[in-house]
Amino acid sequence: MDLRVRALETVLTEKGYIDPAALDVLIDTYQTKIGPRNGARVVAKAWADPTFHDWLLKDATAAIASLGYTGRQGEHMVAVANTDDEHHMVVCTLCSCYPWPVLGLPPTWYKSAPYRSRAVKEPRGVLAEFGVELPASTRIRVWDSTAEVRYLVIPQRPDGTDGLSEEQLADLVTRDSMIGTGLARKPGAAP
């Protein structure tokens, strides 16, 4: 794969279709600037600020953009909030659609055929494999991402976090908790 990518890059550069410096900027952006820390800041702000929480649920694209997180694969965002009664989980059954500006690039398992099929057929079983056991009374809703719409799960705010700053709250928000295959960490729990 490495060789194939390098060969393609060489041919495209020689033909003048791409600029290697621009490619380096793109790669650096996704390696160092864009990732789940962005989404964690969005969730922390929603936990701390009820007005922002409402805005996020009504117009996630605009609310997220107000924090500076915009760009490809994040043009049409929908945020869904977990509660005691309802747990949201995101999949792309067709391929690997994922909200890049807030979560970065998708993990390998998200792109795998077993996750994509089993998330819709037996979400509770998949969650258990991720170590998430929900009460039987909690309804699980699975959202299928598309090329148009990308989802961000707002996990439930853990107990014992009343005095924490937004920055401290963001540290509790894991990538998986924003896909719905995990929960937010409790304060003091190991990262």
Q: Which residue is nearest to Fe ion (CB)?
A: 97
In the complex with Fe ion, which residue's Cβ is closer, 11 or 94? 94
State the minimum distance, in angstroms, from the CB of residue 144 to Fe ion: 9
State the minimum distance, in angstroms, from the CB of residue 29 to Fe ion: 21
Written as six digits, the tokens of 90 are 């995101």
Q: How many residues bind Fe ion (CB under 5 A)?
A: 4
Q: Which stretch binds Fe ion (CB under 5 A): 4-12, 37-45, 94-102, 121-129?
A: 94-102
95 touching Fe ion, by CB under 5 A = yes
State the minimum distance, in angstroms, from the CB of residue 101 to Fe ion: 16
The span from the CA of 152 to the CA of 58, in Å, is 13
Place of tokens 């894991």: 174
Q: Which stretch binds Fe ion (CB under 5 A): 21-29, 93-101, 125-133, 151-159?
A: 93-101
The span from the CA of 141 to the CA of 3, in Å, is 41
State the minimum distance, in angstroms, from the CB of residue 96 to Fe ion: 5
For 35-70, b/e burial (b = at least 16 CB within 10 A) is bbebbbbbbbbbbbeeebbebbeeebbebbbeeebe
The span from the CA of 150 to the CA of 144, in Å, is 9
Burial of residue 179 (CB within 10 Å: 0-12, 13-18, 19+) is buried
Local structure of 151: helix, strand or coil? strand
Restricting to residues 1-60, which ones interact with Fe ion according to CB under 5 A? none
Which positions are catalytic? 92, 95-97
State the minimum distance, in angstroms, from the CB of residue 98 to Fe ion: 8
92 touching Fe ion, by CB under 5 A = yes
In the complex with Fe ion, which residue's Cβ is closer, 111 or 124? 111
Smallest Cα–Cα separation from 106: which of 176, 156, 162? 176
Partner residues linked to 86 by β-bridges: 139
In the complex with Fe ion, which residue's Cβ is closer, 15 or 72? 72
In the complex with Fe ion, which residue's Cβ is closer, 90 or 132? 90
97 touching Fe ion, by CB under 5 A = yes
List of residues contacting Fe ion (CB under 5 A): 92, 94-95, 97
